Amino acid sequence: MTSPAAILGLPKPAWAADEVGMLYDMAHRFMAEEIAPRYDEFEKNEMVDRASWEKAGAAGLLCASMPEEYGGAGGSYAHESVIIEAIAHVGVDGFGIGLHNAIVAPYILHYGSEEQKRRWLPRLATGELIGAIAMTEPGAGSDLQGVRTRAEKDGNQYRINGQKTFITNGQLANLVIVVVKTDPDRGAKGTSLMVVETGEVEGFERGRNLDKIGLKANDTSELFFNDVRVPTANLLGSEEGQGFVQLMQQLPQERLTIGATAIAMAERALALTIEYVRERKAFGQRIIDFQNTQFRLAELKTEATIGRVFYNDCVIRHIAGGLDPATASMAKYWLSELQGKVVDECLQLFGGYGYMNEFPIARMYRDARVQRIYGGTNEIMKLLIARGL
């Protein structure tokens, strides 16, 4: 099969050259050799085991963009991107490294005190700690101002009460950044971020590992906080009420991360489909020899090429510090929509076999769907883009 990374025939962008490209090769090899052979087991168990996280840490695939002084590799978002792309190109999409690396760890790096960074980041880099961020609640999804989980100050501690749901890495995570209200009367200005090390507190409970349509290998959970007490030193930021601003500052990278998965899965879908239609015959000729097949794949390759060029440009802008929230929203919205379209139309070219779970395209069809929902629904993305018109 033609490599998914090369299926579009584009040269490597400057941001993916040299050591970043070497990291992609290493990450691809790790995922293919260490994760893919056991992936059916992980899907059945509905989580990737902790030992695999620790192996990824030992291989240098956790916290690649964190500074070396905190246990990371001293890279940039470019390094995180190629790890995420390798996961999608190999087809082990349920391994929740992307959220751990490119979403959870940066909150601690950007807003944590020196003591917090030295306490948590090295352990995130080894896989001793697995990270999650608890935003969504049963009554508050894309609308983060609707969060009801409360953190009340009690001496030198905060007492946290509330419920979260749809939390990625929720069953395994032992470091959870919790979005709380420290002052419910101040709306967004009363929102704060609190770090909970789950093994060090009482009153923390994990609910069920949620039964999802796709991404079965990723544990996604309900979390309950019942008078969970954490030190006041676990507040991220110099004072209460900074949480909403912190979330808004980091959401562009989260949305770009979703775009990375989207374009990489689209590339893999095309690679698998081109291989299949070259070999499969119908009515005495290869499926690729039918004009309809050629036209459909020509359209999909064109759109995927446009998507890849757009994504690469977003990465360049983000590394330079110039990716604005509206453009990040465009990347999340458009690339996830493209991902769904490419996977759906590729499945059609597999015919009945595309509907069989033994074929990777079927799993991709299930796994792709959530991309248009999490990280802020695509409808919300359109609202954010429209605000700048």
Active site amino acids: 254
Alpha helix stretches (DSSP H) within the chain: 18-30, 39-45, 50-58, 77-90, 97-99, 105-111, 114-126, 243-279, 291-319, 325-349, 360-368, 378-386
Q: Residue 106's CB: how many other CB atoms inside 10 A?
A: 20
Tell me which amino acid residue 8 is. L
Q: What kind and span of H or E run contains 153? A: strand 150-154
Neighbour-count burial of 339, counting CB atoms closer than 10 A to its CB (0-12 exposed, 13-18 middle, 19+ buried):
buried
Q: Which residues on neighbouring strands pair with residue 195, listed in sequence order?
A: 177
Cα 145 from Cα 184, distance rounded (Å): 10
Q: What are phi and psi of 183, to 5 degrees?
A: -150, 90
Q: How many helices (H) and strands (E) does the chain have?
A: 12, 10
Cα 281 from Cα 378, distance rounded (Å): 38
Q: What are phi and psi of 151, to 5 degrees?
A: -125, 110
Cα 203 from Cα 28, distance rounded (Å): 40
Collapsed DSSP state (helix, strand, coil) of residue 159: strand
